[in-house]
Amino acid sequence: MDPRTSLDPRYSDPKAAPASWPDAAGRLAAAEVYWLTTVRPDGRPHVTPLIAVWSDHELCFCTGPDERKARNLTGNPAVVLTTGTPTLGEGFDLVVEGEAARVEDEGRLAVLAEAYVGKYGPEWRFEVREGAFVGDGGTALVFAVAPRTVFGFAKGDPFGQTRWRF
């Protein structure tokens, strides 16, 4: 998967170069906390922090079927996921735009369940049943977001804004 990569000169230092997609994908995989933005039925945004795993070129997360984000995704699959560093002068922030698609294939769910344990530890172990995760908190629907557009914001010297289009 080789996206088209560009550096936006309006928001970049003249000495900045576009960030590489493999570096950005590595940062997406390594991040521990993400912020998910969905759209409520009345059009208002809904933002919540969550954990996720990067698998097969997709950012995957889970949520209870009655949670606001799951209900929002029923009516509108458009999402934005963000992660990064909470500092201004250093670090790298990422914004992933795409559509959340429900994952129900039990083979894929088993791979994702193991990815959660590998990344977050045994307290995040899920069983796979009837097209969902099942854990101590009950049933969780699993969603995958294949990036459509990703923005990377390098902070510090040099600062720069890279865009990857898929």
Number of domains in the chain: 1
Model confidence pLDDT, tens digit, residues 61-74: 999 999 999 999 99
* CB contact at 8 A, 35 and 81: yes
Q: How far apart are CA 42 and CA 31, in angstroms?
A: 31
pTM (global) more than 0.75:
yes
* Beta partners for residue 12, in sequence order: none
Model confidence pLDDT, tens digit, residues 145-155: 999 999 999 99
Model confidence pLDDT, tens digit, residues 108-139: 999 999 999 999 999 999 999 999 999 999 99
* CB contact at 8 A, 93 and 157: no
Domain that holds residue 12: 4-165
Residue 50: CATH number of its domain: 2.30.110.10
Using DSSP's 3-state secondary structure scheme, residue 33 falls into: coil
Model confidence pLDDT, tens digit, residues 54-101: 999 999 999 999 999 999 999 999 999 999 999 999 999 999 999 999
Q: How far apart are CA 97 and CA 148, in angstroms?
A: 6
* CB contact at 8 A, 136 and 48: no
* CB contact at 8 A, 99 and 110: no
Q: Take residue 93 and report the two structure tokens written for it.
A: 């922030």
